[in-house]
């Protein structure tokens, strides 16, 4: 039901959110998220157009989130690459219906509204956190903290 | 978000539900629902396999619902042609995750569960009815009753 493109965009932003201070190369993102590189470039382009990521070429360039994970909703990420299209008029183009939906299409639109509501109320930060500690993210873990990086004994 | 196939299956069953006692030809259904005939044949085949419609060839043949509209849920119709696939294991195939989803995929699966819940609780009869009388169905209206058919003055 959710497109491959949406899934890839979520993996990408999820990974970027786990490395908020780092400019990442597309190769690094592709490896971590298992998104095919050519597909990833298109996804990043769409996310950039939507203002969700910053992408710069060059030696000091790379890709990173343009906002804090707390300020990006799942809905924004999905809509950046594969927008949820609400049903705002009769899909059959029946003149008698116009913008007034029949019960069936009202029902479908209601389901779409529910999805928008769920995803609009969830931020990227929410899905990066794992209060229960029961499942790891589907991306590489956060960069180890400096204190840990120097603690060679661990 | 909902596939064209799902949309077509809903239009088809909605139309069949509005003519429960009639064997309809695929041409009649295609005209009423605006589903391309070749596409319609595939949709009907899937609905037949799922036991939702009865389809017979021949002079007295045709297509009709195999159950009462009250006994068919929207979920059954969608699942007959384009099943809602819940996320039951890590889509990245990460061995560390297995069947334990990360927060992001849990969130997606939760949205899918909501859709299943909405559509599982709604029957075809529900979307054929229009309590408010505000919108017509996206199919031809029910066959006129005999009393009306003979009332030429109307």
Size of interface A-B (CB pairs under 8 A): 128
Residue indicated by tokens 């949309």: B7
Integer Rg of chain B from CA: 19
Q: Which of A108, A120, A125 to mutate to test the interface with B (most CBs of B within 10 A)?
A: A108
How far is CA B66 from each of CA A92, B20, B51, B63, rounded to the nearest angstrom? Answer: 25, 9, 7, 9
Q: Which CATH number is associated with domain B4-143?
A: 1.10.10.10
Are A16 and A55 spatial neighbours (Cβ–Cβ below 8 Å)? no
Which one is predicted more confidently, B133 or A112? A112
Domain range annotation of chain B: 4-143
Which residues of chain A lie closer than 8 angstroms to B97, CB-CB? Answer: 135-136, 138
The model's pLDDT over A97-149, given as tens digits with 9 standing for 90+, comes to 666 788 888 889 999 999 999 999 999 998 886 544 444 555 544 443 333 33
Are A119 and A74 spatial neighbours (Cβ–Cβ below 8 Å)? yes
Maximum average pLDDT range among A31-35, A45-49, A115-119, B94-98:
A45-49
How far is CA A40 from each of CA A4, A10, A33, A106, rounded to the nearest angstrom? Answer: 11, 11, 9, 35
- Considering only CA atoms, which of B49, B26, B45 is closest in space to residue B37? B26
Which one is predicted more confidently, A80 or A59? A80
Structure tokens given for A7 = 């899934």
Query: Within an 8 Å CB–CB cutoff, is residue A110 touching chain B?
Result: yes
Q: Which of B118, B130, B138 to mutate to test the interface with A (most CBs of A within 10 A)?
A: B138
A128 contact partners, CB below 8 Å, separation of at least 6: A14, A17, A18, A69, A137, B103
Q: What percent of chain B has pLDDT over 90?
A: 57
User: Which residue is closest to A32 within chain B, CA to CA?
Assistant: B92
- Is beta strand B62-65 parallel, antiparallel or unpaired with respect to A62-65? unpaired
Of residues B93, B111, B126, nearest to A118 (C-beta): B111
Angle separating helix axes B74-81 and B103-120, nearest 10 degrees:
120
The model's pLDDT over A74-86, given as tens digits with 9 standing for 90+, comes to 999 999 999 999 9
Instruction: Check CB contact under 8 Å for B128 and A103.
Output: yes
User: Which residue is closest to B85 within chain A, CA to CA?
Assistant: A1
Q: What is the spatial distance between Cα A76 and Cα A81, in angstroms, rounded to a whole number?
A: 9
Q: Which helix (H) or strand (E) holds B126?
A: helix B124-128
**What is residue A144's predicted lDDT score, i.e. its pLDDT?**
38
The model's pLDDT over B55-90, given as tens digits with 9 standing for 90+, comes to 988 888 899 999 999 999 999 999 999 999 998 877
Q: What percent of chain A has pLDDT over 90?
A: 56
pLDDT average, residue stretch B118-135: 76
Are B3 and B39 spatial neighbours (Cβ–Cβ below 8 Å)? no
Query: Within an 8 Å CB–CB cutoff, is residue B151 touching chain A?
Result: no
**Residue A139 to chain B, least CA–CA distance (Å):** 9
Which one is predicted more confidently, A138 or B104? B104
Residue indicated by tokens 């003979």: B150
DSSP secondary structure string for all residues of A124-136: HHHHH--TT--S-
What sign does the dihedral A153-A141-A55-A30 (CA atoms) show? positive
Best CATH choice for the domain A4-131 from the list 1.10.10.10, 3.20.20.100, 3.40.640.10, 1.10.3720.10: 1.10.10.10
Residue B147 has pLDDT above 70, yes or no: no
Angle at B101 between CA B98 and CA B105, to 5 degrees: 130
pLDDT average, residue stretch B29-39: 94
How far is CA B42 from each of CA A61, A81, A128, B66, B87, rounded to the nearest angstrom? Answer: 50, 30, 42, 17, 27
Residue B134 has pLDDT above 50, yes or no: no
Helix ranges, chain B (H): 4-18, 26-33, 37-49, 74-81, 103-120, 124-128, 146-150
User: Which residue is closest to A11 within chain B, CA to CA?
Assistant: B104
Instruction: Check CB contact under 8 Å for B102 and A127.
Output: yes
Of residues A10, A104, A112, nearest to B14 (C-beta): A104
């Amino acid at each position: 039901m959710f497109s491959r493109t949406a899934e890839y965009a979520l993996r990408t932003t999820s990974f970027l959110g786990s490395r908020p201070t780092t400019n990442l190369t597309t190769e690094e993102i592709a490896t971590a998220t298992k998104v095919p590189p050519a597909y990833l470039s298109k996804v990043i382009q769409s996310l950039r157009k939507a203002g969700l990521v910053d992408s710069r070429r060059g030696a000091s360039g790379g890709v990173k989130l343009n906002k804090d994970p707390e300020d990006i909703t799942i809905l924004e990420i999905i809509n950046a690459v594969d927008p949820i299209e609400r049903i705002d008029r009769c899909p059959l183009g029946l003149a008698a219906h116009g913008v007034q939906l029949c019960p069936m299409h009202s029902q479908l639109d209601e389901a779409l509204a529910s999805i928008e509501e769920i995803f609009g109320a969830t931020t990227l930060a929410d899905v990066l956190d794992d209060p229960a500690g029961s499942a790891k993210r589907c991306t590489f873990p956060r960069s180890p903290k400096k204190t840990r990086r120097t603690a060679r004994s661990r």
